[in-house]
Homo-oligomer: A and B are copies of this chain.
Amino acid sequence: MADRPDGTGGIQSLDQALRVLVALARRKRAASLSELARDCGMPTSKVHRYLASFLNAGFVRQAERSGKYDLGPASIETGLSALNRHDFVNRAADALPGLAADTGLTALLCVWGNFGPTVVRWERAASLVAASLGLGTALPLLTSATGRVFLAYLPEAVTAALRRKELAEAATSGREFDDIGPDEAGVHALAETVRAAGHAAVDGRYIPGLVAMAAPVLDWQGQAQAVVTLIGTDPRAIAKDAPALGQMKVFCAALSITGPGGAPA
């Protein structure tokens, strides 16, 4: 056991102990000693001693009667502390210039404000500037890629008011939506499509000369905490096989909190 390519300079017993803790976290319910030992491929006595330490520190609780092991209050407190520092807006904002540089597109970070999708950070690429887009700008819900992602990843009640407003305006102005039905049913279908794809994209139909695509930064309730948007002029930039699409989704996935079950290596 000489070479650990990446896992250098750690404490072996601690590595093993943490494997036990994540094994317990992966299970949905309390687990018995032997179950955990089997999961980790370790002798029961070893796991038992690890659990004793976790128990003393409060990371693990032992059920009074059954003797099974479960996660304890210290695990909750540590997790909440970690969550507390997870500031989506700032974390995303720090990384936004990198995304803009990698893709060569203008990158936007939006949150849901009182008037709908609101731009809070924006990183322009070399080529173009959408002059009308400034900080605090509110974007449309139904006709922007950003808005459509919020539509798909926020509760209906939240978006209801703006939804109705934009539908009514579309009706009175006579301007129909090209790619969606002009009623609530059409909006539902749109949201479903966005959820299935994991992102939204619009071509120059609504904002002539501009193409955009957007993806959500999700919290662990599966709701959109923020939306990241890429804007360009070239329609090929938002094609399904465009590299920028993949980069954007990776970017968002890295910022999203993966709930229990999602286990990256």
Contacts and interface: CB of A to CB of B under 8 A. Distances in A.
Interface of A: 6-11, 13-15, 17-19, 21-22, 25-26, 28-30, 48-50, 52-57, 59, 63, 66, 70-86, 88, 97, 100-101, 111-115, 118, 120-121, 123-126, 128-129, 131, 134-138, 154-155, 157-158, 160-161, 219-221, 225, 257-260, 262, 265
B118 A259 contact: no
Given A22-B77, A70-B82, 15 more contacts: A8-B52, A13-B13, A15-B53, A25-B77, A28-B84, A29-B85, A71-B81, A73-B82, A73-B258, A77-B114, A78-B79, A79-B82, A80-B220, A123-B155, A126-B160
A54 B111 contact: no
A37 B18 CA distance: 21
A200 to B, nearest CB: 21
B135 A11 contact: no
A9 B49 contact: yes
11 contacts: A11-B52, A14-B14, A25-B81, A26-B81, A71-B82, A75-B82, A79-B82, A80-B114, A80-B120, A125-B157, A135-B221
B84 A76 contact: no
A88 B134 contact: yes
Contacts of A54: 14, 18
B76 A82 contact: yes
